[in-house]
Structure 1
Amino acid sequence: MSYPSVTLKKGEGRALKAGGLWVFDNEIAAVSPEVQNGQMISLLDFDGYPMGIGFYNNHSKITVRMMSRHADAVVDEAFLRRRVQAAWDYRKKTVDTASCRVIFGEADFLPGLVVDKFSDILVVQSLALGIDQMKETILRLLTEVLAADGITIRGIYERSDAKVRLQEGMERTKGFLSAPFDTKVEIVENGVRYIVDVQDGQKTGFFLDQKYNRLAIQKLCKGAKVLDCFTHTGSFALNAGIAGAKSVVGVDASQLAVDQATENARLNGLENTVRFQCCDVFSLLPELEQAGEKFDVIILDPPAFTKSRSSMKNAVKGYREINLRAMKLLKDGGYLATCSCSHFMNYELFTQTIGQAAKNVHKRLRQVEYRTQSPDHPILWAADESYYLKFYIFQVCDQY
């Protein structure tokens, strides 16, 4: 099968040629007149050299998302089955698959598509027009691949309600893609039980990318007084509690999140050890300092303070402020777990910002470990957007 063509400008496509998967609108010289948005196309270099195939959408700044570097590839059901099977085979080798991200967009060579598995429920987020047209087929193939391993999927829910769909010329949508089911789904991760709200929770309902980072803090929390900032549904706080923390306070600005976290604490029998409060972390940290509070372990898991390069200055200020405040609240020799989930806050800048915070409050940092996202969110080299989560654990010491 031959697809209509899209041709690059001379000298463009540098990120693509370095291994990236996106072609932006300002890199394109010509488009075959028959090309429709969402359609598969053959991408050609300025001199006609075939670069592979992808799907096209002129509503988006990311005008072409590559599906294959093989110019003769055909995106049919057999092609999609191979991609889905490869994604599942990788998870079986690398993570606990009871609940995991089964498909992670570009990093699984299915651009714009995310599928999370929560026990026997799938939650799908489709963020690009071309893949949206393949969504139904991909989900059917995925349920077949899982069934071949003895896993029966009870239901599928769509959470394609992200604003980015508007940039693709698509409407935001959410709802059942199967027979209706109870959208409060119980999962177990690291020995902790959670109720995941796949209908109204953030994004797909639960942040699976921190799975092994949550596990990493358990060993630090036995017998400790712990503060978990931006707790969301309480995941770090509950890992601290189940590890034997003396007391845990989880803080979030969302009352809905705090209510869910409190429910999760009861589910684990931790309601007497782990408690949650709804307030603004930026306001709370100075108040705790003024009250003379001290903690053995503090966890900072904020939302992305920036989703664009234009707001980086304020984001750096925010990250520096919370890390500085947390360091002042730690006992000498206490532990700080701190992270950023913003792609634009890269490793070098995040590291520099933490270092500046420590310098400003005259603290010494001993790095325990540096981590990224769970392997079910694989980092595809040369596709920088797939590397977004940075996670440090430090021992924070007074100057000697």
Structure 2
Amino acid sequence: MPTESRTISVTRRKAIARRIPQLKVTINQKALERLQRGHDWIFRSDLTGVEAEIAGPATVVSEKGKALGEALYSPKSLIALRMMTQGQERITEGLIRERLRLAHERRREMYPGEEAYRVVFGEADRLPSLIVDRFADVAVFQTLSAGMETFKETVVSALRETLDPRSILERNDSSVREREGLPLIRQAAWGEAPEEVAFRFSGKTFSFPALEGQKTGFFLDQRYNAEAAARYARGEMLDAFCYVGQFGLHAAPRAKSVLCVDASEPALAQARRNAERNGLANVETRGANAFDFLKECDQEGRRFDTVSLDPPAFVKNRAALKPALRGYKEINLRAMRLLRPGGILVTSSCSQHLSPELFEKTLAEAARDARRRVQVLEKRGQPADHPVLLAMPETDYLKCWILRVE
């Protein structure tokens, strides 16, 4: 590394040290027991003492004064602390770099030769509130807490070292950041943002506008679910909430026709482009609110052989659970009514507050009200690059069920 770059790196580290003094935060017995069970979050209501309201690394101590480890502190969030270490281990730039390197090494072992995967999945990779996705030679990241935000320069530098990308995109435009008191940002953090990010994924070529679309630009967590759904697809297929067409395009080679429906015209334009990239001539798109479209098809008596539902997260918090359940029930009930006997329903939920048990209950109620007999063919979840922590049910968020509707 050239001397000038090394000097800049040292200067930045010193600046970070000045900007983020080491805090001490005291937690109550309830939070201590939560940590002992393996959960990494400590809520604001369980704090008994905070030296200063400054975002960054903090030493966590019990009410008896015992040092428990270090965490990322967020002054404005309900999740005040996100644990990163135990005992006397410190949170340093070197620790973050090493954990990012290890996370990438594990993904390369999982997906040899693949060019699109999640590199870092927050708490599961011991880098809480950090998300990193790789799309060929483009890396996309999100720092979703005020504590991790203080290490953003370190993250960008580590990504350059580990992935050697053409560009690094910052997609910090999630509403989660507003609850952390952070600005919404959408920009190239290093290099230039390409007009379009293109990559091979599960045997197909996909693309999305570099700084547009949802989350990091593409839903890598549906990797195997879209492949599995394609094995059951047949006849006329409806891909509702299609976004850029992942489920529909995987199913198109087996289906007679695929109709992709989404409320976003830019997403549909990208779905059409992705269909063209893969030589799929049997894919059409329709701009519409999926709720309204399902209702319209039901009223008109229109029928399909395969329906895919991949809606956004209806349940943003526990308080929104009841109205969200009504939404999930409605779309699944109407989808069941639209299917010809023996048709296939692929239905997903990415809401972490909706448990698998409650999802199953909602589907059962929808089947009852639709007066359809439903077989469960597969219960699926998220892939290995989105690992689940046993002690943190919040990391287990994705449900994708494949059903046969008689």
TM-score, normalisation: structure 1: 0.92
Structure 1 residue 161: Cα displacement:
1.4
Q: 2:139 corresponds to which residue?
A: 122
Does structure 2 conserve the Cα–Cα contact (< 8 Å) formed by 1:81 and 1:138? yes
Which residue of the other structure, out of 28, 35, 44, is the alignment partner of 1:9?
Answer: 28
- Correspondent of 2:332 among 323, 327, 338: 323
Residues 95, 375 of structure 1: 8 Å contact kept: no
User: Cα distance, 1:31 vs. partner?
Assistant: 2.1
Mapped to 2, the partners of 1:145 and 1:12 lie a distance apart of 35
- Distance of 1:159 and 1:4 partners within structure 2: 29
Query: 2:218 aligned with 1:202, yes or no?
Result: no
Distance 1:74 1:45 in 2: 17
Shift of 1:17: 2.5
Tell me whether 1:364 sits opposite 2:380 in the alignment.
no
Matches within 5 A, 1:57-68: 57-68=74-85
1:263 maps to 2:273: yes
Task: For 1:87, give the aligned amino acid.
Answer: A
Give per-residue Cα distances to partners, 1:149-173, cap 9 Å, x unaligned. Answer: xxx4111111111222222222111
In the TM superposition, residue 3 of structure 1 has moved relative to its aligned partner by: 4.9
The code of the aligned residue for 1:353 comes to T
Aligned-partner Cα distance in 2 for 1:11–1:328? 48
Q: Are 2:388 and 2:395, in contact at CA under 8 Å, matched by a contact in 1?
A: yes
Q: Give yes or no for contact 1:230–1:302 (8 Å, CA) kept in 2.
A: yes
What SS is found at the alignment partner of 1:321?
helix
The separation in 1 between residues aligned to 2:181 and 2:331, in whole angstroms, is 37
Structure 1 residue aligned with 2:161: 144
Report what 1:347 is aligned to. 356
Q: How many Å apart are 1:316 and its aligned residue?
A: 0.7
| Paired position in structure 2 for 1:26 | 45
* Higher alpha-carbon deviation: 356-365 or 314-323: 356-365
Deviation at 1:304, TM superposition (A): 0.9
Per-residue CA deviations over 1:160-197 (Å, capped at 9, x if unaligned) read 11222222222111211122142311111122211122
Q: Are the counterparts in 2 of residues 25 and 63 from structure 1 also a CA contact under 8 Å? A: yes
Distance of 1:29 and 1:181 partners within structure 2:
45
Q: Structure 2: state its 5+ residue gaps.
A: 1-16
Matches within 5 A, 1:265-280: 265-270=275-280, 272-280=281-289
Runs of 5+ consecutive residues of structure 1 not aligned to the other structure: 147-151
- Show the counterpart of 1:217: 229
Amino acid at match of 2:254: G
Q: CA separation in 2, counterparts of 1:84 and 1:199?
A: 23
Percent identity, please.
Answer: 38
- CA shift, 1:36, in A, is 5.2
Deviates more, 1:198-207 or 1:1-10: 1-10
Aligned pairs for 1:237-252 within 5 A:
237-241=248-252, 243-252=253-262
- Number of the residue aligned with 2:295: 286
Alpha carbon RMSD of aligned pairs, Å? 1.8
* Residue type at the aligned position of 1:253: A
Q: Tell me the matched-pair count.
A: 386
Contact 1:187 1:196 in 2 (8 A): no
1:377 is displaced (CA, Å) by 1.3
| SS in structure 1 at match of 2:60 | strand
Structure 1 counterpart of 2:37, which letter? A
For residues 226 and 30 of structure 2, the distance between their equivalents in structure 1, rounded to whole angstroms, comes to: 45
Number of the residue aligned with 2:181 = 169
Length-normalised TM-score, structure 2: 0.91
Q: Aligned partners of 1:110 and 1:87: how far apart in 2? A: 10
Match of 2:3 in 1: none
